[in-house]
């Protein structure tokens, strides 16, 4: 395993950003920024032995700061949406920052994606840590958080650990946008399988209504492999309301999902201990400049955000995101890469 690090410029408030690069013996590599504990690139071999960067990203820190989309970032304290930015915990109502219309999204106006994290090299990867103060974006409790990103045996693993000094809520994920063709064109041709029998229905704001329905006979049915593009523009409400996929699968087992590119031959397998996974197909991404002179835009990438269900704190019948004071929160997600020859 080979480590390098280099300056990645300064933020708008003059803070230094560092990029860490991990390279394995087979040539697979990952680049990770301490800004947002953001995965900037993952480079893997395709079916012809050529190295392909399967992640969308930018060349400069200013683009990460100013562009929307949370590309590659660690998001929290609560990933996804909370309706009206409100929840009640231990009889106290908390009002969070509103940054998605009248709702709270991905931790608020200054979420974890906008922090400069402390970073240190560990075996096969980099450990990032930070402290979110009590009251941060409206959340209770001082939260100490560690995110360790490692590269081993053809896989990227993200391990999350957190502890709070007060009861709080937590829902962490990584917001990487994958394109197994190397960022060329849209992701409609990617073949997807999801280990899920049901999903949470969205309203017009892409928030769950509270209803859980079977995937059968809907555009959300990926129990057998089919292309992402096959039903993305159908009249099915699960895709029509959000202009494509932006919905939470209730996971049924392991692996959570498998994605294959017929063009590159690259296969990505997702495993996690989380109960849900949001599939997002970059429906609102405007055309923009990416890394190394590339351009990308609407549906150029897909996200597989492993997490608790959106707005689950307001649905007590669902798996709970409550983290009790001084209890340790742990979760992981692995993205493993292989090749169909």
Asked if pLDDT for residue 183 goes beyond 80, the answer is no
Across 173-192, average pLDDT: 95
124-158 b/e with 16+ CB inside 10 Å = b? Answer: bbbbbebebeeebbbbbbbbebbbbbbbbebbbbb
H-state helical runs in 21-91: 61-66
157-162: long-range pairs with CB below 8 Å, 24+: 157/125, 157/332, 157/333, 157/334, 157/335, 158/332, 158/333, 158/334, 159/330, 159/331, 159/332, 160/329, 160/330, 160/331, 160/332, 161/328, 161/329, 161/330, 162/323, 162/328, 162/329
Judge whether 175 counts as a catalytic residue: yes
Cα radius of gyration (the chain): 19
> Options 2.160.10.10, 2.70.98.10, 1.20.1630.10, 3.30.360.10; which CATH number does 2-339 get?
2.70.98.10
Is residue 107 very low, low, confident or very high in pLDDT (cuts 50, 70, 90)?
Answer: very high
Percentage with pLDDT > 70 across the chain: 100
Which residue among 106, 175, 190, 308 is the active-site one?
175
Is residue 293 very low, low, confident or very high in pLDDT (cuts 50, 70, 90)?
Answer: confident
Segments making up each domain of the chain, as ranges: 2-339
Which pTM value belongs to this model?
A: 0.97
Q: The tokens 């053809």 sit on which residue? A: 154
Which residue among 106, 137, 305, 308 is the active-site one?
305
pLDDT, tens digit, 9 for 90 and up, residues 67-100: 999 999 999 999 999 999 999 999 999 999 999 9
pLDDT at 25: 87
């Amino acid at each position: 395993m080979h480590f390098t690090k280099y300056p990645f410029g300064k933020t708008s408030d003059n803070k230094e950003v560092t990029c860490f690069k991990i390279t394995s013996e087979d040539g697979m590599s990952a680049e990770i920024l301490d800004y947002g504990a953001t995965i900037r690139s993952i480079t893997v071999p395709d079916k012809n032995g050529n190295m392909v960067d399967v992640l969308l990203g930018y060349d400069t820190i200013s683009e990460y700061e100013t562009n929307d989309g949370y590309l590659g970032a660690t998001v929290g304290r609560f990933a996804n949406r909370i309706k009206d930015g409100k929840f009640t915990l231990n009889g106290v109502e908390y009002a969070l920052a509103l940054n998605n219309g009248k709702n709270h999204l991905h931790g608020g106006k200054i979420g974890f994606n906008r922090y400069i994290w402390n970073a240190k090299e560990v075996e096969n990867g980099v450990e990032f840590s930070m402290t979110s103060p009590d009251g941060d974006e409206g959340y209770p409790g001082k939260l100490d958080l560690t995110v360790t990103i490692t590269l081993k045996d053809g896989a990227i693993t993200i391990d999350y650990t957190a502890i709070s000094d007060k009861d709080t809520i937590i829902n962490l994920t990584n917001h990487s946008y994958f394109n197994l063709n190397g960022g060329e064109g849209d992701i409609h041709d990617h073949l997807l399988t999801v280990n899920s029998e049901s999903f949470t229905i969205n309203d017009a704001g892409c928030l769950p209504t509270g209803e859980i329905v079977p995937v059968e006979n809907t555009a959300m049915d990926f129990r057998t492999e089919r292309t992402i593009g096959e039903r993305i523009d159908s009249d099915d409400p699960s895709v029509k309301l959000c202009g494509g996929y932006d919905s939470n699968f209730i996971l049924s087992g392991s692996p959570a999902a498998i994605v294959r590119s017929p063009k590159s031959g690259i296969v990505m397998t997702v495993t996690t201990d989380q109960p849900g996974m949001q599939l997002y197909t970059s429906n609102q991404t405007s055309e923009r400049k990416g890394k190394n002179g590339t351009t990308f835009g609407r549906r150029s990438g897909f996200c597989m955000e492993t997490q608790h269900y959106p707005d689950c704190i307001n649905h007590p019948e669902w798996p709970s995101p409550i983290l009790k004071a001084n209890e340790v929160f742990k979760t992981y997600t692995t993205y493993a890469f292989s090749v169909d020859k």
